[in-house]
Amino acid sequence: MLSRVAERVYWLARYIERAENTARMVMSFHLVSLDMPRSVPLTWKNLVAVTGNDDVFEEHYQREDERNCVKFLLADHYNSSSVVSSLKAARENVRTTRDLVPSEAWEIVNELHLFARDNIDSGLGKRGRYQFLTEVVQRCQTLTGLLAGCMSHDPAYDFIRLGRNLERADMASRQIDVGAFRLLKRPEDESAGPYEGLLWTSILRSQSGFQMYRQHVKRRINGVDVVRFLLQDIPFPRAVAHSLDYVRGAIERLPRNEVPLRLAMQTRRHVLKAEVEQLIKEDRLHAFIDTLQLEIAGVHDALADNWFALDKAA
């Protein structure tokens, strides 16, 4: 398999996953914002912080209000992680690898890209937002299902799996970070206190994890358990540990995998070994997530260097 092709299917999967996660995040925050009393200030800017693109946001906007934040997250082309940008990039990547993936995959991505581009206005307004975002999420999942069910599970598919799960682990860890920042670090901020459960629920919801949490954790929603669930619950497919499990599995099947495999396993071990309660008590969760994100980026660098690097001479 050509390195360039491997890189493109990997990014195809990453961008689709990014679009889906961003859409989920905006949707759950949108829903919780409708529940919150006006006295509790909701900072949409936190969502921008999740994507790590705060500086780009600040370059373009002065007001950190809902309108600007949602526009930045969903529509703006100068935000390379916005839903519209991600879908456009996904489309470019599948366009150049059409011969590798089932032909329906191209159609789904192409139509999704057109749908998002043409209906973005309803996503920006409050009224059509839920429907718009649900549709984006569902179409992303259609693609994931199609690839899982109709594409040979060959190296190309392993690169798709790799991209999807690494992106998912990355986004999930960012969500935990922001949630933790908002909810755990400020005991003095009394206004949100009674609504803590609501906010954690929204974070679970953004990962479709609310119901699964209920079934498997069986305890009242609380910060420590939610963080543990989203970070370490191996059976839950959107948990960081689960995603890293899949990253490891995909890497294991690929040739010449020593370096990326070692890093992926190391990262996974660190996640599973983390003492969540301790980290929160000692106010070290943010630092831990920071390191985790560097490690995830390290896995990406290692695999890019190992399989995609084109500048190496013969």
Partner 1 sequence: MSIDWKSYDPSPFYDELIAAPGKPRPVARRLTEYLSSLGDQELQARKQAADHAILEMGISFTVYSEGENIDRAWPFDIVPRVIPKREWEEVQAGLVQRLTALNLFIDDVYNDQRIFRDKVMPKYVLNKSRNFREQCRGIKPPHGVWAHICGSDLVRDRDGTLYVLEDNLRVPSGVSYMLENREVTKRVFPEIFENSSILPVDEYPTQLFDMLAAISPRPQDYPEIAVLTPGIFNSAYFEHSFLAQRMGAELVEGADLVVGDDDCVYMRTIEGLERVDVIYRRIDDDFMDPEEFNPDSLLGVPGLMRAWRNGKVGLANAPGAGVADDKVIYAYVPAMIKYYLDQDPIIPNVPTYLCVNEKDRAYVLDHLDELVVKPANESGGYGMLVGPHASKKQRAEFASLIKKDPRNYIAQPTLSLSVAPTLCDDSLEPRHLDLRPFVLQGVRTDVTAGGLTRVAMRKGSLVVNSSQGGGSKDTWIVDEED
Residues engaged in binding partner 1 (CB under 8 A): 1-4, 6, 95-96, 98-99, 103, 106, 155, 254-256, 307, 310, 312-314
Closest CA to 167 of 57, 7, 39, 293: 293
Residue whose CB is less far from partner 1, 79 or 306: 306
**Shortest Å distance, C-beta 131 to partner 1:** 28
Residue whose CB is less far from partner 1, 7 or 76: 7
Residue whose CB is less far from partner 1, 290 or 301: 301
Residue whose CB is less far from partner 1, 34 or 310: 310
**Shortest Å distance, C-beta 307 to partner 1:** 5
**Shortest Å distance, C-beta 314 to partner 1:** 3
**Shortest Å distance, C-beta 107 to partner 1:** 9
Residue whose CB is less far from partner 1, 100 or 172: 100
Q: Are 98 and 5 in contact (CB under 8 A)?
A: no
How does 75-89 read in b/e, with b if 16+ C-beta sit within 10 Å?
A: bbeebebbbbbbbbb
Two tokens, residue 65: 């209000």
**Shortest Å distance, C-beta 310 to partner 1:** 5
How does 267-288 read in b/e, with b if 16+ C-beta sit within 10 Å?
A: bbeebeebebeebbeeeebbeb
What is the spatial distance between Cα 53 and Cα 171, in angstroms, rounded to a whole number? 13
